[in-house]
Amino acid sequence: MSGETTYLLAIALGPVQDFIAASRKARDLWQGSQMLSELSTTAAESLESDPDTELIFPTTTSLGQKHAVANKLLVSTTGNPPALANAARAAVQKNLMDMWDDLKPIIDTLPKDTVDPPDPQGRRVAIRQVADFIEWYAAWVPYDPGIDEIEDPLSYRKARKRVELLLAGRKALREFTPAAGVDMRPKSSLDPSRESIVDFDRNANPQAVRTLRLKGAEQLDAISLIKRLTGKNRFVSTSRVAIDPFIRAMEKLDPSRLATLKTHAKALRDTDLVEGFNPGEGSGLTRYAAFPFDSQLLYESSAESARKTLEKEPGAPPTTMQQDAVKNIFALIRGFTDEHREWRELPAYYAVLRADGDRMGRAIGALPTKKDHQDLSIELGKFAEEAGNIVREHFGAMIYSGGDDVLAFLPLDTALPCADTLRRKFSEIIREALAKHPKVEQPTLSVGVAIGHYAEHLQTMLKRSADAEKAAKGPRNALAVTFQAHSGGGDPRIVVHSWDDDPVRKFWATAIEFHRHETLPDGAAYELDALRREFRDAHKDGVFAADAARGLTADQVAGELLVKETVRILKRKRVKGGAAKVQKEIIDALALRLAPQPAVPVPDPDTAETPPNIPPEIDRALDVLGKFVDEVIVARRIARLLGNQTSEAVSLWNKQSEALRPVAMQSGDVAGTEEQP
Amino acid sequence: MSPQRPRSRASRRRGNTAQKSPRTLTPPTRVEAVTDSTPPAAGAVSESPPPAVTTAQRAPVNGSEPTDGDIVLIRPRDPLVLRDARPFSSEPGARAISLPWPLPRTVAGTMRTHIGNNATPPLDWTTLAGPTRARRETVSHGPLMVGQDEADGAWHAYVPGPRDVVFYRPENKKETAEDESKELKAMVLRPDSPDAAECCDMPSFSANDAEKSRGYELAFANTALRPLLVEEDVKPEVDVPSWWRLDHAVAWLNTTATEPPDSLFPYAAPDPDKPGAPQTLSGLKPLPADTRVHVSIEPGTQTNVEGALFTTEARAFRDAPVAASDSEPGEPALAMLCKVRSTIEWKRDDALVPLGGERRISSLVMNDDDALWPEVTYPSMDQFEAATGLRLLLVTPALFRYGWLPAWLGNSTIPGLKGEKVGGKLVGAAIDRRIPVSGWRVAQRQDDDNKETLSGPRRTCYAVPAGGVYFFAFDKPMERTEAEWHAVWDKLWLRPVSDHGIDCDEGFGLVLPGLWRDEHMEDAAQG
């Protein structure tokens, strides 16, 4: 015991961004997240092992749980803060070095110097790469735990604020040591700031390629190799997540065929074509047990291309059994899709979901005592754990769940109900956690969902999901959805709805119903989008003029025309093979979204005339129309997946949306009988 | 500041390659570069950067000899492929990622090749002699971002936004529809009081460090590092320009105020058409990424390989200014500006050269009257007198011997300021995470044992990213005349401060000088 001064010690460890950026595959990302969480845990455990130190963020309780530990730590201590911080840092450093040492048995099975060969001076880079990796920042301030007065400068609350600011000031200087670079070596495929340690002749050594789980011409640095080889279990690929609705359908409609598919997949296991993973308890992947394999083979467009892919494998030529398995898998899928025509196009799109609590910092800052923070810390741990369950229930794969942060991959058919369930659970837990503090504003959850093709570059998908989350964070308490077709150009639009508007039920489920019941023709969305662009450009060029007679600005004139034009286009459209018009209710509903009417028009007391409807400003109308178009386009893909299955996915939607009924289906299918003007 | 420039519209060109009459030039008179840019012996720290570049502008007379190097305007005609160091092949799903801005070495290499190809006689690239000579005898400072407005046709320089100020939107305390105010506020970051340094783990020399050299210890001996004072827990506004106009940056660098007036910052004028729109800062966004999806071709059949889509990313420079309209502000055309000196005799004609990957073409416009190297702007005497230290803003990434820590600190002097006695200790820095710098060595070279090595990947070095700010505190009050101060500024203005001469010659670590006043130290002293 160093006497009587008590300190708050805050530590930030990293790099987080580099870890996220250094991933091309889902498993790299997942493993990086696991690794960072493990290092944070090591730091927390080192601090906790000191008898004079008490954990706050994370708490001792949450350390033992399944969810991730965040990379920012806060403790209270009567010990010596710099010494504690240094010891924790050393423990983290040692843990990382141990991870590297743990690879030695694997590396030692390969010919000498296959991995991390010495440079001309005899130096090896791997150890230096591992030693230089951790970023570490610490700050501490004294406080008096006996003071309850929250405005007292020595109070816990003030001290916590001060230590956070001090840490931020410390982090302004992101120091680094010189690189451990070596000439004439390619750089890592995952992190361009480090040299590869696996630059050997791939054709001469196919066994090493397999042992190190390298793909193609991939190069890895020491940290990336730890990520690649440390995991006891593998993680699912984006394609496995994307195709999950198909597997579920197969499981339901034709379980024996699925069993055969599994047998063939097993025959190819651990070639480059098929990788198995363990969907056992605790893996977080139990929902994928029906087909625990990653394979692009399912997507092969022809048996021929599948065979070619197999032949490109390094090493020994494929065995007859393997060749047969490839053929059989193709035939099997084809057989199923021939029988079930609605699955002709395999689901290739998936969603990256990111969620983050709004104004957590403010809520944390408003809580006065250490105990309050520890309680909140435990509650956030509960949410992190619940979030894991929710994502699993929705057939998703959790990458990271810690505190108020979630990053997960989800199949397209369940992503939006999952987002909705997450935010409800978050609000519920926060409400309980802050029940004793009615004055503290309750944080909400903002969720960004990026939908894209499984073969889209992972970094691109992560960037889009981050953009979506940022868009949701603009208004806060919102859901932002972004979608881009594979090889589609341009910036995808982001559709943002406040959770207050219950968007999954009111907008997304409705739009999905349009498709399921063919109440809106496919072409309508694209035509409306073209209209939107036309109006936007015309507006930019100043085509519209004010209407002085009616007292309308140019913006209003344009808005009015846009609404009329939208209605005209929809009235022209035919659905159900040309048999029916678009329902009037749908057209009216959209017109109303574009130009909301005052609830009750108030007559002018002088003239007793009801004022005319005020046309919407063009910018707003364009924005709403854009949202509508995106809703319809994205919903179309989801609707196809939901198809006519009555699977769990549909019930998940139903749970969210009471009943998947379109806004105006009650009147039957005799839609839109009125004549066009 | 706008560069001093003659108003001869006749000479104005827009990046075309209209020819000046071919000139045969005598070598520049300043030849110090040759000796100075020789790579230092291994382990040695370059005492000084390349020789003084006098700040006097070259005489803007066509046909006259530039005395101070050639000013090259580089106008990319295609989006530039500026790949990071990740290996790239056309395998399915591969993606070539482009850096946001070319590294100085990329441009220096392009210029060396161009000079060598146009030398009389052309340099021989097939032996070591040519590349060695090109490298030793050429100095390239840049690239600076330059933009050309519709209005006046002149190219104005931009610099990376300094990291010692953070912009944010203060939260509305009241319950209003909007959570945050539309207004931007600036939080100035300055070294905190020395007491604060005792409460965090600022970098320090430890005998256990891997890098145990005496030089490392000496460099640390000249530091007294303090964290920067962050006064409020704010969420930095992300939508701020990554490039500031040089004159805006200079106004910021010259001020000694800790609470500067709003007028000091480049807040964009409110748009009368959009009342209530959030306030913004003027400046440039990062260059947009131009992403192209390609498909691999089967060599035998000339058909595409099934599923073999791969993506390349490139950085697009706007090639012509966009005029301001009623609804949108104008956008300048964008290019790079570089100052090149070589003792090699070469033909200084406008030309087309490949720059970056995939042989994307840029046009070189030599010594254009509308594209001048920015002229030094001095702080006022009041500002000099109020200052208690220097600031250095990195305009290009800097390579230092000890990572983030310059080895020249051990000499107690900023490069170029030898004899000026304005040094002082390094007391703080606002620098972002390191960036890797490597590249591909095209030329053969001799290694340390005098053996020829083949071309191939260069080793990785880590650089301090541009936009970083270093704070120095004078040891004692400076009593200098205005002329003496100006001499100091002349020696720092857009000059490189990297540790090794060769890095300086490639343009790593160009700085803009600035001032600051250590009020937190004064407060601590008084308190």
The crossing angle, in degrees rounded to 10, of helices A554-572 and A618-642 is 30
Q: Which residues pair with A7 in a beta bridge?
A: A77, A142
Query: Testing the interface with A: which of B460, B500, B503 to mutate, by most A Cβ within 10 A?
Result: B460
pLDDT of residue B273: 66
- The band of A131, judged by pLDDT with boundaries at 50, 70 and 90, is very high
Q: How many CA atoms lie within 13 A of A571 on its CB side?
A: 14
Cα separation, B58 vs B66, whole angstroms:
6
B433 — contact with chain A (CB < 8 Å)? yes
A5 — contact with chain B (CB < 8 Å)? no
Question: Which chain B residue is nearest to residue A131, measuring alpha carbons?
Answer: B210
pLDDT of residue A294: 85
| Chain B residues inside the 8 Å CB shell of A178 | 211, 401-403, 461-462
Cα separation, A653 vs A245, whole angstroms:
14
What values do phi and psi take at B155, rounded to 5?
-95, 125
DSSP string covering A252-310: HH-HHHHHHHHHHHHHTBTSSSEEE----TTTT-GGGTTS-EEEGGGG-S-HHHHHHHH
Q: What is the DSSP letter of B22?
A: P
Of all residues in chain A, what percent carry a pLDDT higher than 90?
47
pLDDT of residue A668: 34
**Is residue A344 over pLDDT 70?**
yes
**Is residue B313 over pLDDT 60?**
yes
Q: Are B67 and B58 in contact (CB under 8 A)?
A: yes
| Chain B residues inside the 8 Å CB shell of A179 | 436, 459-462
Asked if B89's CB is within 8 angstroms of A216's CB, the reply is: yes
SS3 A427: helix
- The band of B443, judged by pLDDT with boundaries at 50, 70 and 90, is low
Q: Which residues contact A676 (CB under 8 A, 6 or more apart)?
A: A568, A571, A572
Question: Which chain A residue is nearest to residue B294, measuring alpha carbons?
Answer: A487
| Chain A residues inside the 8 Å CB shell of B458 | 181, 183
More confident residue, B192 or B127: B192
Q: What is the mean pLDDT of chain B?
A: 82
Of all residues in chain B, what percent carry a pLDDT higher than 70?
80
| Chain B residues inside the 8 Å CB shell of A169 | 189, 192, 196, 200, 227-230
**Is residue B25 over pLDDT 50?**
no
| CB–CB contacts below 8 A, A to B | 183
Instruction: Give the least confident one: A30-34, B402-406, B483-487.
Output: A30-34
Q: In terms of C-beta density within 10 A (0-12 exposed, 13-18 middle, 19 or more buried), how is residue B84 classed?
A: middle
**Is residue B31 over pLDDT 60?**
no
B213 — contact with chain A (CB < 8 Å)? no
| Chain A residues inside the 8 Å CB shell of B230 | 165-166, 168-169, 172
| Chain A residues inside the 8 Å CB shell of B179 | 476
Give the one of B163, B192, B431 whose C-beta lies nearest to A169's C-beta: B192
Question: Which chain B residue is nearest to residue A188, measuring alpha carbons?
Answer: B86
DSSP string covering B319-341: -SPBPP-SSS--B-EEEEEEEEE
pLDDT of residue A512: 81
* Secondary structure element (H or E) that encloses residue B357, with its range: none
Query: Testing the interface with B: which of A17, A160, A164, A193 to mutate, by most B Cβ within 10 A?
Result: A193
**Is residue B261 over pLDDT 70?**
yes
Q: What is the DSSP letter of B167?
A: E
Residue A461 Cα distances to A355, A448, A482, A485, angstroms: 15, 11, 10, 12
**Is residue A127 over pLDDT 70?**
yes
Residue B488 Cα distances to A59, B251, B357, angstroms: 54, 17, 39
Give the one of B89, B428, B459 whose C-beta lies nearest to A182's C-beta: B459
| Chain A residues inside the 8 Å CB shell of B95 | 457, 459-460
Q: What is the mean pLDDT of residues A195-213?
A: 90
A178 — contact with chain B (CB < 8 Å)? yes
Q: In terms of C-beta density within 10 A (0-12 exposed, 13-18 middle, 19 or more buried), how is residue A605 classed?
A: exposed
- Its pTM stands at 0.86
pLDDT of residue A657: 53
Question: Which chain A residue is nearest to residue B226, measuring alpha carbons?
Answer: A170
A82 — contact with chain B (CB < 8 Å)? yes
B404 — contact with chain A (CB < 8 Å)? yes
Q: What is the DSSP letter of A195?
A: B
**Tens-place pLDDT, residues A81-120:** 999 999 999 999 999 999 999 999 999 999 999 999 998 8
pLDDT of residue B173: 58
- The band of B437, judged by pLDDT with boundaries at 50, 70 and 90, is very high
Q: In terms of C-beta density within 10 A (0-12 exposed, 13-18 middle, 19 or more buried), how is residue B525 classed?
A: exposed
**Is residue B398 over pLDDT 80?**
yes
Asked if A173's CB is within 8 angstroms of B95's CB, the reply is: no
DSSP string covering B195-255: HHHTTB------TTSS---HHHHHHHHTB---PBP--S---B-S-S-SEEEHHHHHHHHH-
pLDDT of residue B55: 32
pLDDT of residue B17: 36
pLDDT of residue B409: 92
**Is residue B4 over pLDDT 50?**
no
Selection from A176, A656, A123, A364 nearest residue B401 by Cα: A176
- In chain B, residues 268-307 whose CB comes closer than 8 Å to chain A: 291, 293, 306-307
pLDDT of residue B1: 42
Give the range with max mean pLDDT: A233-242, B33-42, B245-254, B413-422. B245-254
- The band of B302, judged by pLDDT with boundaries at 50, 70 and 90, is confident
More confident residue, B464 or A501: B464
Give the one of A141, A194, A489 whose C-beta lies nearest to B460's C-beta: A194
- The band of B262, judged by pLDDT with boundaries at 50, 70 and 90, is confident
| Diameter of chain B measured on Cα atoms | 82
DSSP string covering A477-515: SEEEEEE--TT--SPPPEEEEEGGG-HIIIIIIHHHHHH
Asked if B229's CB is within 8 angstroms of A169's CB, the reply is: yes
Q: Are A424 and A376 in contact (CB under 8 A)?
A: no
- The band of A491, judged by pLDDT with boundaries at 50, 70 and 90, is low
Pull the structure tokens for residue A239.
Answer: 């394609």
A314 — contact with chain B (CB < 8 Å)? no
- In chain B, residues 96-155 whose CB comes closer than 8 Å to chain A: 97
Torsion angle, CA of A353/A358/A363/A365, rounded to 10 degrees? 90
B323 — contact with chain A (CB < 8 Å)? no
Asked if residue A117 has a cis previous peptide bond (ω within 30° of 0), the answer is: no
A185 — contact with chain B (CB < 8 Å)? yes
End-to-end CA distance of chain A: 88
pLDDT of residue B43: 35
pLDDT of residue A427: 95
**Tens-place pLDDT, residues B89-142:** 766 667 888 999 999 999 999 999 999 999 999 999 888 888 889 999 999 999
B434 — contact with chain A (CB < 8 Å)? yes
- The band of A605, judged by pLDDT with boundaries at 50, 70 and 90, is low
pLDDT of residue B47: 35
Smallest CA–CA separation between B330 and chain A, in Å? Answer: 14
End-to-end CA distance of chain B: 40
Question: Which chain A residue is nearest to residue B95, measuring alpha carbons?
Answer: A457
pLDDT of residue B23: 35
**Tens-place pLDDT, residues A528-569:** 999 999 998 998 888 888 888 888 888 888 888 999 999 999
pLDDT of residue B40: 35
Q: What is the mean pLDDT of chain A?
A: 86
Residue B305 Cα distances to A326, A346, A569, A583, B136, angstroms: 19, 20, 41, 45, 46
Q: Are B107 and B338 in contact (CB under 8 A)?
A: yes
Q: In terms of C-beta density within 10 A (0-12 exposed, 13-18 middle, 19 or more buried), how is residue A607 classed?
A: exposed
pLDDT of residue A639: 78
Residues in chain A, overall count = 677
Parallel, antiparallel or unpaired: strands A349-357 and A72-77: unpaired
Asked if A459's CB is within 8 angstroms of B460's CB, the reply is: no
Smallest CA–CA separation between A138 and chain B, in Å? Answer: 6
**Is residue B42 over pLDDT 50?**
no
| Chain A residues inside the 8 Å CB shell of B228 | 169, 172-173
Cα separation, A313 vs A327, whole angstroms:
16
Question: Which chain A residue is nearest to residue B442, measuring alpha carbons?
Answer: A184
Give the one of B199, B431, B441 whose C-beta lies nearest to A174's C-beta: B431
Q: Are A415 and A241 in contact (CB under 8 A)?
A: no
* Secondary structure element (H or E) that encloses residue B491, with its range: helix B482-492
Q: Which residues contact A33 (CB under 8 A, 6 or more apart)?
A: A19, A68, A399, A400, A407
CA triple B244-B250-B253, angle to 5 deg: 105
More confident residue, A644 or B145: B145
**Is residue A175 over pLDDT 50?**
yes
B316 — contact with chain A (CB < 8 Å)? no
SS3 B306: strand
* Secondary structure element (H or E) that encloses residue A430, with its range: helix A415-433
Instruction: Give the least confident one: A13-22, B431-440, B466-475.
Output: A13-22
Residue B333 Cα distances to B75, B157, B322, angstroms: 9, 12, 7
Torsion sign across C-alpha atoms A57, A58, A60, A62: positive
- The complex's ipTM? 0.85
- In chain A, residues 399-428 whose CB comes closer than 8 Å to chain B: none
Give the one of A128, A138, A176 whose C-beta lies nearest to B200's C-beta: A138
Instruction: Give the least confident one: A307-316, A568-577, B406-415, B484-493.
Output: A307-316
Cα separation, B350 vs B257, whole angstroms:
45
Residue B360 Cα distances to A399, B79, B223, B317, B319, angstroms: 39, 7, 44, 12, 14
| Residue for token pair 């020829």 | B452
Side chain identity, residue A53: T
- The band of A303, judged by pLDDT with boundaries at 50, 70 and 90, is low
- The band of A298, judged by pLDDT with boundaries at 50, 70 and 90, is confident
**Is residue B64 over pLDDT 70?**
no
Selection from A401, A31, A42 nearest residue A190 by Cα: A31
Q: What is the mean pLDDT of residues B250-254?
A: 97
- The band of B411, judged by pLDDT with boundaries at 50, 70 and 90, is confident
Q: Are A411 and A395 in contact (CB under 8 A)?
A: yes
